[in-house]
Structure 1
Amino acid sequence: MNNDFLPFYQISQVSIIEEFVPLLGIDVRFKNNMTANLEYRQSRELSLSLLNSQLTQLNMKNLTFGFGYKTRDFRFPFGLFNNTILKNDLNFKLDFSLRDNKTIIYQADVTAAEISAGAKNITYRPSINYILNQRFVLNIFYDSNLTKPYTSQAFNTSFTTFGFNLVLTLQ
């Protein structure tokens, strides 16, 4: 009535999220106690900002594969523990992962898209689990992570962690 138009709903941003988690996944256990797994994940998030007429697209692709082996009565072939036999279950596992994250910005008045963030990430994770008895499990692990960013605003980084865990199960 007073030429003051104020909408009931004010929408500043609209988002669409698509995820295929996992898009493809295979877990296999062989007769010789070897295991193998493969997984491919893909997701995309689109965000349209109505305040500045900007579309932001976040793409994520992740490929993971791993191998494992489970044995009993393991005999050390070398070193200080030469010919020592471990009577309980011993699990070896190796996981390798490639991840690609990329954030792309599309603006209404600019014809070319701009990469604003994102990185390629490589992860390598071997581990050994040994069941000491019904209550204790010993886990020895190593984790290496290498990140290569798409923009010059961040540096290449590499992280490595290693150690062991002793897990106590109370029942």
Structure 2
Amino acid sequence: EFSKKLSDSALNHIPGYIQTFIDEPDSSRYGFDGYSVLQSEVLLNSFFSAYGYQDAQSMSRIDFKSILPMPNWSINYTGLMRIKSFRKVFTAFAMSHSYKNNLTVQNIQTNMLRAQNIQNDPGNPFPRNANLDILPEMQIGQVSISESFAPLIGIDVRTRKNTSFKFEVGKQRQIALSLANNQITESKATDVTFGLGYIIRDVQFTIVDESGQRNNIKSNLELKLDVRISDNQTVIRRILEGFNQPTAGQRRTTIKLTADYRLSRRLAAQFYYDQTISTFKTSMAFPTNQWQSGIALRLNLGN
């Protein structure tokens, strides 16, 4: 149910890297001695190979100095408005796409336990920890990768008939390898947003003041409807035990409806309706349905 192809790929690279380390020219070890599935160098190299920061075919040691960040980009395209038939229907037609990536290595430092053991026993260049794994030269606490398509695809349209339309799909992912407790934490989220707007021009209201005099107000009535559906989950992959455990996640639907009307140059009124429906993916929380509605007045004191 909680299949994680990339996490599985990281674990599948482990045997290859174990063989790489024990076959090194300066290695005096045989078999898997000193390099279990929990040895930090094995885990790090397998993790980076699975997520594209290292060539998985070469099975070579990773060099942190050679790691280059993934490129980030943002694309906005409005070229369709150059087409005459589009300009007859739309006043604006924009498409967007964006990608962001961040790699973080936390708590990287010289392995003082290894240095102390070598100082105490110079004849043993490969000191080991309590798990009988070879102590690496560098000690790393956690490696995390975050990626986001915000949006993966976005369309923003305004027509000549006072209608606007917006559609966006976004995806986010965060993966963290913790070498303190030997587990991979993966969080994923998908957002889909629909937006619809319409302007009713020259809507007229009649207001009677305290003296009984009728005052006519004419302004545009702006209607907006936004529906957002988001789905996220967090899964912990325990490497030694070999199973996935969902720890958090929910599916949320948000509905927002507004109607804006300007009563005067300084005073505007808005009717709003907000509703949020949430269902959770763990047994620790119950489904919720929250909504609020009302009328808000905004007074502009500026010039």
State the TM-score bracket (shorter-chain normalisation): 0.7 to 0.9
CA contact (8 A) 2:217 2:263 kept: no
1:111 Cα deviation after fit: 2.9
Counterpart of 2:189 in structure 1 is: 60
Aligned twin of 2:68 = none
Cα shift at 1:57? 0.5
- After superposition, residues 75-154 of structure 1 pair within 5 angstroms as 87-154=218-285
Cα distance in 1 for residues equivalent to 2:217 and 2:147: 48
Matches of 1:86 and 1:67, distance apart in 2: 26
| Counterparts of 1:23 and 1:116, CA distance in 2 | 26
Question: Cα deviations across residues 12-70 of structure 1 (Å, max 9, x unaligned)?
Answer: 11111001111111111111101110011110000111111110001010000011111
Matched positions, count: 164
The residue type paired with residue 133 of structure 1 is: S
> Deviation above 6 Å: which 4+ runs of structure 1?
5-9
Give the unaligned 5+ runs of structure 2.
1-118, 122-126, 128-134, 206-215
Identity %: 37
Contact residue 72 and residue 86 of structure 1 kept, 8 A: no
What is the SS of the residue equivalent to 2:160?
coil
**Deviations along 1:123-171, whole A, 9 cap, x unmatched?**
1111101112221221110000000000101111111111222122223
Shift of 1:74: 2.4
Bigger mean CA deviation after superposition, 110-119 or 30-39 = 110-119
Aligned to 1:39, what secondary structure does the other structure show?
strand
1:11 is displaced (CA, Å) by 2.6
How far off its partner does 1:109 sit? 2.0
Q: Is residue 73–residue 86 contact of structure 1 (8 Å, CA) maintained in 2?
A: no
Distance, in Å, in 1 between the alignment partners of 2:240 and 2:223 is 55
- 2: distance between equivalents of 1:143 and 1:8? 55
1:164 aligns with 2:295: yes
Distance 1:10 1:163 in 2: 56
Bigger relative contact order, structure 1 or 2 (CA pairs below 8 A, ≥6 apart): 1
1:10 to partner: Cα distance: 4.4
TM-score by length of 1: 0.86
Distance 2:203 2:189 in 1: 41
Q: What is residue 101 of structure 2 aligned with on the other side?
A: none
Paired amino acid for 1:101: N
Within the candidate set 114, 138, 160, 1:31 is matched to 160
Structure with the bigger percentage of strand: 1
Letter in structure 1 aligned against 2:299: L
Amino acid at match of 1:60: A
RMSD of aligned Cα (Å) = 2.4
Moved more, 133-142 or 41-50: 133-142
Q: What do residues 85-123 of structure 1 show as CA deviations (whole Å, max 9, x unaligned)?
A: 851111011111100010011111233322110000011
**Cα distance between partner residues in 1 of 2:295 and 2:136:** 60
1:20 aligned onto 2:149 = yes
The structure number with the bigger radius of gyration is 2
- Structure 1 residue runs without a partner (length 5+): 77-84
Q: Distance in 2 between matches of 1:58 and 1:127?
A: 33
- TM-score scaled by structure 2? 0.50
